[in-house]
C-alpha cells in the first residue's frame, strides 16, 4: 500500500522533465538508453500502483491515450533468439491508431518483451516501440514521447481532493469515488 503518494508523484514529474530533455539530446550512450528504459519501467509501475492504491482520480484513471499499433508479420514466433528480427517484420503499411487505457499502457511497459527507443533524424528521442510478452509475435505499440511525458505529468500532478465510497446492502464497499 502507498501511504504518501507525493513521493511517487514527484518521481513521475522528475521522469517527465528528464524525458523532455531527451527530445533534443544529440549524443547518446548505452548508459543513456538504459537510464531511459529504467525511468519508463519505474514510471509506469508507479502509475499502476497509484491507481491500485486509490491515489488517482477516477477521471484520470478512465482517460484513454492515443497509440499507434503495428502488426508483426513474422513467419516465426518471436522469442529471445529472434527478437533482433522484429523491426524487419513489422508491417509499417498497416499502422493504425487506437486508444488504450492507462492500465493497458502500464502493462505493456511492466511486462515488456521488447522496448526500443526511436529517435528522430536529428538525434532526439521521438517515441518508444514496445510489446509485452503476450503480444510479442502479434503486434507492437509505438507510443509518442509527448504522450508519455503528458501521462507522467498528469499522474504526477493529480491530487484528488475528495474520496468517498458506495456500499451495498451488506455494507461492503463496491465503489470508490475519487475526485
Number of domains in the chain: 1
Residue 127 belongs to what domain range?
Answer: 6-178
In a domain, 153, yes or no: yes
* Grid coordinates of 39: 525511468
Helix or strand run (H / E) with residue 55: none
Q: How far apart are CA 111 and CA 98, in angstroms?
A: 20
| 3-state DSSP assignment of residue 109 | helix
Mutual orientation of helices 30-52 and 102-110 as an angle, nearest 10°? 130
Residues 1-9: what's their mean pLDDT?
85
| pLDDT over 80 at 145, yes or no | yes
| pLDDT over 80 at 40, yes or no | yes
Residue with cell 514496445: 130
In a domain, 1, yes or no: no
116: left (phi over 0), alpha (psi -120 to 50) or beta: beta
Q: What is the pLDDT of residues 70-88, one digit of tens each?
A: 877 666 666 666 666 666 6
178 within 8 A of 56, measured Cβ to Cβ? yes
**What is the overall mean pLDDT for the chain?**
84
In a domain, 68, yes or no: yes
Amino acid at each position: 500500500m502507498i501511504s504518501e503518494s507525493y513521493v511517487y508523484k514527484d518521481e513521475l514529474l522528475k521522469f517527465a522533465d528528464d524525458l523532455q530533455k531527451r527530445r533534443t539530446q544529440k549524443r547518446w550512450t548505452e548508459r543513456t538508453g538504459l537510464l531511459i528504459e529504467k525511468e519508463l519501467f519505474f514510471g509506469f509501475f508507479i502509475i499502476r500502483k497509484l491507481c491500485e492504491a486509490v491515489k488517482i482520480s477516477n477521471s484520470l484513471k478512465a482517460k484513454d491515450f492515443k497509440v499507434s499499433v503495428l502488426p508483426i508479420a513474422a513467419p516465426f514466433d518471436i522469442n529471445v533468439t529472434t527478437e533482433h528480427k522484429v523491426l524487419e517484420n513489422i508491417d509499417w503499411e498497416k499502422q493504425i491508431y487506437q486508444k488504450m487505457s492507462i492500465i493497458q499502457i502500464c502493462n505493456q511497459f511492466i511486462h515488456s518483451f521488447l522496448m526500443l527507443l526511436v529517435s528522430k533524424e536529428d538525434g532526439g528521442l521521438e517515441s518508444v516501440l514496445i510489446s509485452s510478452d503476450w503480444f510479442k509475435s502479434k503486434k507492437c505499440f509505438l507510443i509518442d514521447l509527448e504522450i508519455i511525458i503528458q501521462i507522467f505529468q498528469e499522474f504526477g500532478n493529480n491530487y484528488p481532493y475528495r474520496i468517498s465510497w458506495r456500499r451495498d446492502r451488506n455494507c461492503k464497499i463496491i465503489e470508490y469515488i475519487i475526485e
